[in-house]
Chains A and B, each alone.
Chain A
Amino acid sequence: EPEVTQTPSHQVTQMGQEVILRCVPISNHLYFYWYRQILGQKVEFLVSFYNNEISEKSEIFDDQFSVERPDGSNFTLKIRSTKLEDSAMYFCASSENEGQGLFGQPQHFGDGTRLSIL
């Protein structure tokens, strides 16, 4: 069964450094998402992406965050200047059609990247 893959599985970064988290969504999916889960807390929506642009974003997704689909297979999340509070699991997800809204479809999640900021 096709899977969403994320790399690396664990990233350790010094505070203030830039970090890029990578995801390969399922190949025929058109909608892409990033979520984060701080240890012991709820999974939180960050951003959704369709047709090479952001379609929705949460209040968490501030100017420090950006997303990109640099080629036909990868989907990346960049945090420009990391803070201690960015430490979390980051999940990428994809859906064949729109995963939210009136005709929402299931989203398929990767296993996440654990980001640790020192």
Chain B
Amino acid sequence: SQQGEEDPQALSIQEGENATMNCSYKTSINNLQWYRQNSGRGLVHLILIRSNEREKHSGRLRVTLDTSKKSSSLLITASRAADTASYFCATDAYVSNDYKLSFGAGTTVTVRA
């Protein structure tokens, strides 16, 4: 399967701490995207990083991409209670004659006040 796999499955941290989650995938990609999903809501796009990029920042978010290891990481700095959500990586790749976005199972992040 092309789908990214996140690690860890769940993460519990204290407010103010950093949260790091990883995503691994299997084949070459065009880009990799991170999404957030709050309970009962849709997915919210966070960051898109292309295959020729190594690092990207957006506010308190930092994403890295290592295409040689087929892995990506998402770092949330100075976490807040509002960051409590599930985080998904999605790989955009040409698979079986189609482009499609394939999601991982997600990392559930709980930020304790």
Contacts and interface: CB of A to CB of B under 8 A. Distances in A.
Decide whether A and B are members of one complex: yes
Contact of A91 (B3, B40, B43): B43
A51 to B, nearest CB: 16
Interface in B10-34: 30-31, 33
Interface residues of B, number: 25
Contacts of B87: none
B105 interface: yes
The SS class assigned to the B binding surface is strand
Nearest to A100: B99
Which of under 10, 10 to 19, 20 to 34, or 35 or more describes the interface residues of A?
20 to 34
Interface of B: 3, 30-31, 33, 35, 40-45, 48, 88, 90, 92, 94, 98-106
23 contacts: A35-B103, A41-B105, A42-B3, A42-B103, A42-B104, A42-B105, A43-B43, A43-B103, A57-B98, A58-B100, A91-B43, A93-B43, A99-B101, A101-B92, A101-B99, A104-B31, A104-B92, A104-B99, A108-B45, A109-B44, A111-B41, A111-B42, A112-B41
